[in-house]
């Protein structure tokens, strides 16, 4: 047995020796591999790799356009009451006729003998918003809009202003896709001042305060009280909160163009030939606007904003060729013929506003007040007419000047009315004002909102609110009193909502929502034509957003 055990012990010892030798070789090999890895890692530029990964992530996140959908189906009932006035018996084919100052008052586009008109209108409104950020300091935003009545309508036949660029996606029309917004934002820092610069089609409808009634959480750029329309231009914003220590303080310079004085391709000359493309017409100048938007304070609860602006070369319709004879003057009639589609420059307009919004009234007084919003705003406007005449008046075969009319016994107001002189029916600089206030509070169930709004405008009040989302005309342009109540009801969170609203506008004067010359005359165009004395708009809608 001992002889047998001894060889086994010797074999085991030899095996252990060989195993230990193999293990030592493996450990040495592992040490060599670890040394190679450490050497390779020491040569690797970790920061460069991190930058590459960051760039890849940024590219994947920013190399695309994000789309949002905003679709609304609505039913509106619009109702108007037309006041008395003198109406021309116009020929629908020649555009001329007799102006009978003895005729009973009736509306120009209302069936004869009626002083009231109402209509129920179904509409679809679609806004496709887009955004992209290819770099940390560069953003693009845009929006396309379609706002149409159900089926075909006769809007184009009745209005040469149906497609006006100031409200292209804000008034129901056809199914054409129109540009609503398209602009880029470039931003950076100059020390403690953060700045941004932007050019393009502006985000300029449903601005500060008016975004509440539109059920838009974030207001657009302007103060909605006196500017609410689509336009092209630029803005330059400077945040001053860090410099001044005042929460939310900034200033923004805004530049815009509402009309470009240029012809298009193959435009016709007065002699029946072609004009060179894209030349000045010299009929009216470029309509430009420059303004300063100032946010004095914003701490999340209290927000104070103001704007001041000036618009140059405000336009109005280039009106009528009027012919009078002694016999027609005695009979109270005269003939008139339209000059055709076209505009003239009537002067400049300045404006300003100061507005306060309170998000949450008081501090812990009640849940109701904590979830309520109150705002108040005061705005002014002032005209500066240039004396251009819209109409041509002929008596006895002679074109009459203001001096000649005065020598024939016409008063200065009659001269201004007949010739279409001045702005808003006056040859003087006229100042208008408007007050706007509102209160929005919780509804009966969670997420529901109720809003009450009121505004009042004076005789010569003039706003740029053509893009306001109401079918009966801009309530904020009202020369008189306007009232609104609305109820917002979530159906599927914020993705599907319903809204009911009622607006009533009681006009003290004519011309509240037209242009800046004779059509804006508070006494009615040329001091004679009838105008809407009151209007209302009942609105019911269902809106999908995602």
Which residue in the block uniquely carries the two structure tokens 């109401």?
Answer: 470
Residues in the chain: 546
Q: Is residue 4 packed enough to be buried (19+ CB in 10 Å), middle (13-18) or exposed (0-12)?
A: exposed
| Least confident window among 185-199, 292-306, 358-372, 412-426 | 412-426
CA angle 497, 502, 508 (to 5 degrees): 150
The pLDDT of residue 256 is above 60: yes
Q: For residues 55 and 19, state if they share a domain.
A: no
CATH number of the domain bearing residue 540: 2.40.160.10
> Is residue 533 in a domain?
yes
> Is residue 278 in a domain?
no
Average the pLDDT over 448-458 and give the result.
Answer: 98
pLDDT tier for residue 410 given thresholds of 50, 70 and 90: confident
Q: Quick one: the chain helix, strand, coil %, rounded to 5?
A: 20, 45, 35
> Is residue 195 in a domain?
yes
> What is the model's pLDDT at position 112?
45
Q: Report the distance separating Cα 270 and Cα 394, nearest Å.
A: 22
Q: What is the DSSP annotation of 509-543? A: SS-TTS-SSGGG-TT-GGGTS--EEEEEEEEEEEE
Structure confidence by residue, pLDDT tens digits, 67-80: 999 999 999 999 99
- Can you give the pTM of this predicted structure? 0.83
> What is the model's pLDDT at position 55?
60
Cβ-proximal residues to 515 (8 Å cutoff; 6+ apart), any chain: 314, 315, 316, 317
> What is the model's pLDDT at position 83?
75
Q: Which domain holds residue 459?
A: 49-157+164-266+284-545
Mean pLDDT of the chain: 85
> Is residue 273 in a domain?
no
Structure confidence by residue, pLDDT tens digits, 86-143: 555 554 444 444 545 444 443 344 444 456 778 999 999 999 999 999 999 999 999 9
pLDDT tier for residue 38 given thresholds of 50, 70 and 90: low
Q: For residues 151 and 15, state if they share a domain.
A: no
Q: For residues 23 and 68, state if they share a domain.
A: no
Which one has a higher pLDDT value, 420 or 332? Answer: 420
Q: For residues 433 and 509, state if they share a domain.
A: yes
The pLDDT of residue 494 is above 70: yes
Considering just the CA atoms, what is the radius of gyration of the chain in Å?
Answer: 35
Q: Report the distance separating Cα 101 and Cα 529, nearest Å.
A: 10
> Is residue 360 in a domain?
yes
Q: For residues 37 and 118, state if they share a domain.
A: no
Q: Is residue 189 packed enough to be buried (19+ CB in 10 Å), middle (13-18) or exposed (0-12)?
A: exposed
> Is residue 274 in a domain?
no
Task: Enter the DSSP assignment of 369.
Answer: H
> What is the model's pLDDT at position 314?
95
The pLDDT of residue 432 is above 80: yes
Structure confidence by residue, pLDDT tens digits, 151-174: 988 776 667 788 888 999 999 988
Q: For residues 454 and 507, state if they share a domain.
A: yes
Q: For residues 144 and 36, state if they share a domain.
A: no
List the one residue out of 177, 173, 195, 176 whose CA is nearest residue 186.
Answer: 195
Q: For residues 34 and 106, state if they share a domain.
A: no
pLDDT tier for residue 417 given thresholds of 50, 70 and 90: confident
> What is the model's pLDDT at position 10?
43
How many domains is the chain partitioned into structurally?
2
Q: For residues 15 and 100, state if they share a domain.
A: no
The pLDDT of residue 514 is above 70: yes
> What is the model's pLDDT at position 397?
81
Cα separation values, 231 from 169, 199, 213, 227, 520, Å: 12, 11, 21, 10, 21
Q: For residues 101 and 170, state if they share a domain.
A: yes
> Is residue 275 in a domain?
no
> What is the model's pLDDT at position 258?
92
Average the pLDDT over 480-498 and give the result.
Answer: 97
Q: What is the DSSP annotation of 39-102? A: HHHHHS-HHHHHHHHHHHHHHHHHSS-EEEEEEEEEEEEEEEEEPP---EEE-TTTSEEEEETT
Cα separation values, 31 from 27, 28, 474, Å: 6, 5, 83
Q: Residue 88: beta bridge partners?
A: 99
> What is the model's pLDDT at position 12?
43
Q: For residues 39 and 144, state if they share a domain.
A: no
CA 286 to chain centre: 20
Phi, psi of 88 (to 5 degrees): -70, 145
Q: Which helix (H) or strand (E) holds 197?
A: strand 193-201
Q: For residues 356 and 372, state if they share a domain.
A: yes
> Is residue 338 in a domain?
yes
Q: What does DSSP say about strands 116-135 and 66-82: parallel, antiparallel, or unpaired?
A: antiparallel
pLDDT tier for residue 408 given thresholds of 50, 70 and 90: confident
- Greatest pairwise CA separation for the chain in angstroms: 158
């Amino acid at each position: 047995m001992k002889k047998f055990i001894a060889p086994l012990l010797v074999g085991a010892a030899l095996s252990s020796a060989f195993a230990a030798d193999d293990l030592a070789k493996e450990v040495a090999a592992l040490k060599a591999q670890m040394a190679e890895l450490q050497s390779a890692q020491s040569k690797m530029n970790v920061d460069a790799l991190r930058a590459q990964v960051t760039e890849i992530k940024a590219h994947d996140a920013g190399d695309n356009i994000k789309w949002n959908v905003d679709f609304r189906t609505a039913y509106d009932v619009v109702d108007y009451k037309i006041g008395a006035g003198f109406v021309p018996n116009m020929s629908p084919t020649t555009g001329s006729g007799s102006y009978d100052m003895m005729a009973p008052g009736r509306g120009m586009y209302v069936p004869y003998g009626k002083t009231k008109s109402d209509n129920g209108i179904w509409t679809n409104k679609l806004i496709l918003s887009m955004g992209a950020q290819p770099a940390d300091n560069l953003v693009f935003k845009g929006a396309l809009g379609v706002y149409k009545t159900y089926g075909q309508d006769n809007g184009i036949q009745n209005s040469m202003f149906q497609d006006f660029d100031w409200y292209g996606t804000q008034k129901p029309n056809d199914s054409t896709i129109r540009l609503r917004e398209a602009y880029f934002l470039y931003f950076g820092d100059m020390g403690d001042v953060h700045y941004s610069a932007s050019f393009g089609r502006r985000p300029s409808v449903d601005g500060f305060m008016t975004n509440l009634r539109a059920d838009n959480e974030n207001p657009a750029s302007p103060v909605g009280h006196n500017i609410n329309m689509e336009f092209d231009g630029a803005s330059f914003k400077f945040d001053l909160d860090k410099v001044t220590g005042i929460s939310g303080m900034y200033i923004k310079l805004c530049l815009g163009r509402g009309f470009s004085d240029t012809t298009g391709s193959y435009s016709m000359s007065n002699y029946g030939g072609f004009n060179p493309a894209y030349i000045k017409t010299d009929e009216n100048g470029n309509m430009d606007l420059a303004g300063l938007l100032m946010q004095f304070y914003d701490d999340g609860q209290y927000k104070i904003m103001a704007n001041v602006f000036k618009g140059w070369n405000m336009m109005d319709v280039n009106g009528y060729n009027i012919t009078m004879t002694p016999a027609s003057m005695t009979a109270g009639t005269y003939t008139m013929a339209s000059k055709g589609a076209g505009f003239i420059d009537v002067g400049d307009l300045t404006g300003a506003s100061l507005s306060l919004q309170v998000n949450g009234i008081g501090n812990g007084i009640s849940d109701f007040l904590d979830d309520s919003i109150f705002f108040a705003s005061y705005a002014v406007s002032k005209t500066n007419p240039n004396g251009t005449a819209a109409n041509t008046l002929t008596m006895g075969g002679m074109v009459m000047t203001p001096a000649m009319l005065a020598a024939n016994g016409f008063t200065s107001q009659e001269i201004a009315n007949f010739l279409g002189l001045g702005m808003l029916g006056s040859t003087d600089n006229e100042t208008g004002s408007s007050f706007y206030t509102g209160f929005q509070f919780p509804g009966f169930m969670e997420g529901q909102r109720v809003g009450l709004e009121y505004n009042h405008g004076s005789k010569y009040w003039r706003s740029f609110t053509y893009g306001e989302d109401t079918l009966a005309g801009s309530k904020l342009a009202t020369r008189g009193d306007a009232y609104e109540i609305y109820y917002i009801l979530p159906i599927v969170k914020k993705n599907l909502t319903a809204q009911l609203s009622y607006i009533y506008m009681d006009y003290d004067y004519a011309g509240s929502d037209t242009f800046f010359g004779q059509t804006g005359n508070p006494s009615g165009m040329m001091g004679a034509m009838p105008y809407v004395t009151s209007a209302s708009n009942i609105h019911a809608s269902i809106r999908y957003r995602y």
